[in-house]
Chains A and B, each alone.
Chain A
Amino acid sequence: MAGSPVQVTGTVLTTRRVEAYHALTVVAPAVADRFRPGHFVTVAVGGPYSSMLTRRAFAIHDVKPDYGGTVEFVFSVRGPGTAWLADRRARDTLDLVGPLGRPFPLPRDPCTCVLVGGEYGSASLFVLADVLQRRGCRVDFVLGASSADRVFGALRARRMGETTTLTTEDGSLGMRGEVTDVLAGVIADARADVVYACGPMAMLRGVTAVCVEFGIPVQVSVEQAMACGVGICMTCVVPVIAEDGVTRMVRACTDGPVFLGERVRFDDVGTIPFDALGAPGGRHG
């Protein structure tokens, strides 16, 4: 069983641009050893005297055995923190904590899996596909983004997947539209048993709706703003229905980021549902 997360000072091995995104490979054997598909790492940004206190969380894209173990993560520049990360060069050091989160649950027996990625959310799907294929599963990919340069890993998906369907909102690559427009067709053609999805919240919501219609389980990996990534800051909560049927505000970092799609109340993300445990004026245990 994977151990608990560790904090390491890792050396940057390589940096690369992948279409509209950046990818950093960091030597971190202790993180790589404990890795399972779906895990993420958090990175401190801005150096030792940084004025940026919150850690940035990124799904692990790949782990390799080089130099004792490396991890690679993919990100897009969204603010001063990720801009600082994009400026890192080989041999710089990074403060990493990981691996964090609940990884993707894997099927016990071989089955057919559709992997859906939106924007750079697809980054975490390739190691998952690898593990699934080694277990004898069939893997089909559906990747989408706003434009061609924001679809991450189309080539790798084509190489690995039984089929690969690409969508872009501007039609610059694959079908014009969103992944949810083509997902039903892919599920039906592949006779999929399970769907794994990672990407923006709106996409996960659409993917879950399609899977509910087919009556197949969907494992979604949610993206929520978080400060710590280890379960203490309580800022990354999402309303999720527990096994007892009660909605609780649970942490995306430690209770997730992977949830069973139908349990996540996507329509209520960003609110406290009135029937959530401990909601104002609502249910009190």
Chain B
Amino acid sequence: MPVDLRSYLGHVELPNPVFTASGCGGTGRELAQFFDVTRIGAFVTRSITMAPRAGRPTPRMAETPSGMLSAVGLQGPGVEVFAERELPWLAERGARTIVSIGGGSVAEYTALARRLAGAPGVTAVEVNLSCPNVEDRGRVFARDGSAAAEVVASVRAATRYDVPVIAKLAPDVADVVSLARLCVDGGADALSMINAPLGMSVDVDTMRPSLAAGTGGLSGPAIRPLAVRCVWQVHAALPGVPIVGMGGVMTGRDALEMVLAGACAVAVGTALFHDPYACQRILRELEELLQARGFDRLADAVGLAHRPAGAGPRNRIDLEESSL
């Protein structure tokens, strides 16, 4: 019997829980050469900014053990071109599009949300909180709970009521749970985690940093335990909040790990660079693994690792059904 893979972000139903991760799927056109982007749960765009951005100088990428460092610098055409050319292309095909937005101030995030509120084809808005706050000496929003909450609240207010707002959290903060709680209090309907933590490598031949920007976001399986920990902690503290788990998911097993830790959906990022068919493959593998473990619904597996030791999977399911 096929497993019911439907996943919910707030009240929005998605046919399955596998997404692309922001900044790892291009505009959708590139991946459409390999698979149908409407077959995955949702297509998450790179972070869209108000103005066009040229990004960071090269080298932007360095391979590290089981991961990579990247510092692209949110290169993109700006929200106008995005709304005129990229979003309609996704909408015409019927892809469910989660638009990631990035800004340097609360006002910029608000303006982006307002611009997108009128655009058709936006399934949800993801707020990339790992952007430097120009009004706070470049400190990233995710490191300052109150600034993050303010951004989320203003985006929530500017976004249509039926479009969920997802706050994307970074792991390199003092307390991810309190940040998550502040974002939810600010109005976030869901959370996604983790954004790439900052890393760095030095090229011993040139004796210079490997990346032109010096530091870059670390992604890939190297950060998966960090992601699972964050998902676990936040799900334990806020069990009712949907979590999109991401960070080094390469296989269906990795996706199931995220789900068991508490994610109701899983985003695939760096794996797409290695294997352009990764989303399809991970979805198929996840379904097979759920089937092999006797699950009828994906929802029954979400957060199942939190049940007390020795308790069978059933207990947890009963609890969940009675509480909802």
Q: Quick one: closest A residue to B51, CB to CB?
A: A284
What CA separation (Å) do A230 and B247 show in the bound complex?
Answer: 21
Instruction: For B221, list chain A residues within 8 Å (CB).
Output: 51, 53
Tell me whether B75 and A237 are in contact (CB under 8 A): yes
- Quick check: A285 and B61 within 8 Å, CB to CB? no
Is there a chain A Cβ closer than 8 Å to B290's Cβ?
A: no
Binary flags per residue of A32-55, CB closer than 8 Å to B gives 1, else 0: 000000000000100000011111
Contact of A44 among B60, B80, B274 (CB under 8 A): B274
In the complex, chain B residues whose CB is within 8 Å of the CB of A277:
52, 54
Give Cα A234–Cα B45 distance, bound, in whole angstroms: 13
B206 adjacent to chain A (CB < 8 Å): no
Give a binary string over B203-241; 1 marks a CB under 8 Å from any A CB, 0 the rest: 000000000100000001100000000000000000000
Asked if B59 CB lies within 8 Å of chain A CBs, one says: yes
Taking CB atoms and an 8 Å cut-off, the chain B residues in 50-67 that contact chain A are 51-61, 63, 65-67
> 0/1 per residue, B36-77, Cβ < 8 Å to A?
000000000010000111111111110101111010100111
The 8 A CB mask of A252-285 against B (1 = contact, 0 = none) is: 0010000000000000011110001111101011
Q: Is the interface of B mostly helix, strand, loop or mixed?
A: loop
> Residue A249 at the B interface, CB < 8 A?
yes
Whole-angstrom distance between the Cβ of A216 and the nearest chain B Cβ: 29
Question: Per a CB cutoff under 8 Å, which of B51, B271, B275 touches A7?
Answer: B275
Contact in complex: B78, A232 (CB < 8 Å) = no
Q: A51, B58: Cβ atoms under 8 Å?
A: no
Contact partner of A272 among B56, B220, B273, CB < 8 A? Answer: B56
A 218-235 to B, binary, CB cutoff 8 A, 1 in contact else 0: 000000111110111111
Among B24-32, B252-260, B312-320, the stretch that binds chain A is: B24-32
Nearest-CB residue, chain B, relative to A252: B58
Q: Does B14 contact A (CB under 8 A)?
A: no
B60 touching A234, Cβ below 8 Å: yes
Q: Does B33 contact A (CB under 8 A)?
A: yes
Tell me, rounded to whole Å, the shortest Cβ–Cβ distance linking B258 to chain A. Answer: 18
How far apart are the CA atoms of A178 and B24 in the complex, in Å?
Answer: 40
- Are B75 and A230 touching (Cβ within 8 A)? no
Query: Roughly how many angstroms separate A234 CA and B68 CA in the complex, as a whole number?
Result: 13
A278 x B68 contact (CB < 8 A): no
Q: Does A69 interact with chain B (Cβ within 8 Å)?
A: no
A278–B51 Cα distance when bound, in Å, is 7
**Contact of B295 with A by CB under 8 A:** no
Q: For the complex, what is the distance from the CA of A28 to the CA of B274, rounded to whole Å?
A: 18
Q: How large is the interface on B (under 10, 10 to 19, 20 to 34, 35 or more residues)?
A: 35 or more
Which A residues are CB-close (under 8 A) to B273? 53-55, 227-228, 232-233
A59 within 8 A of B: no
Measured CB to CB, the nearest residue on chain B to A100 is: B33
- Which residues of chain B come closer than 8 Å to A237, judged between CB atoms? 55, 58, 60, 75
> What string of 1s and 0s marks CB contacts (under 8 Å) between A70-104 and chain B?
00000000000100000000000001010000000
Report which A residues bind B (CB closer than 8 A).
4-5, 7, 44, 51-55, 81, 95, 97, 224-228, 230-238, 248-249, 254, 269-272, 276-280, 282, 284-285
User: Which 9 A-B residue pairings sit nearest by Cβ, starting from the closest?
Assistant: A278-B52, A235-B61, A232-B26, A228-B273, A231-B30, A278-B54, A4-B33, A235-B60, A284-B51
List 20 A-B pairs, Cβ < 8 Å: A53-B220, A53-B271, A226-B61, A228-B273, A228-B276, A231-B26, A232-B24, A232-B25, A233-B70, A234-B23, A234-B55, A234-B75, A235-B70, A235-B72, A238-B58, A254-B30, A278-B53, A278-B78, A280-B54, A282-B54
- B residues lining the A interface (CB < 8 Å): 23-26, 30-31, 33-34, 46, 51-61, 63, 65-68, 70, 72, 75-78, 80-81, 212, 220-221, 270-277
Known: A230-B26, A232-B273, A234-B60. 19 other contacts (CB 8 A): A5-B33, A44-B274, A81-B63, A225-B58, A227-B61, A228-B272, A228-B273, A230-B276, A232-B26, A237-B60, A254-B30, A271-B57, A272-B57, A276-B54, A277-B52, A277-B54, A282-B54, A284-B78, A285-B78
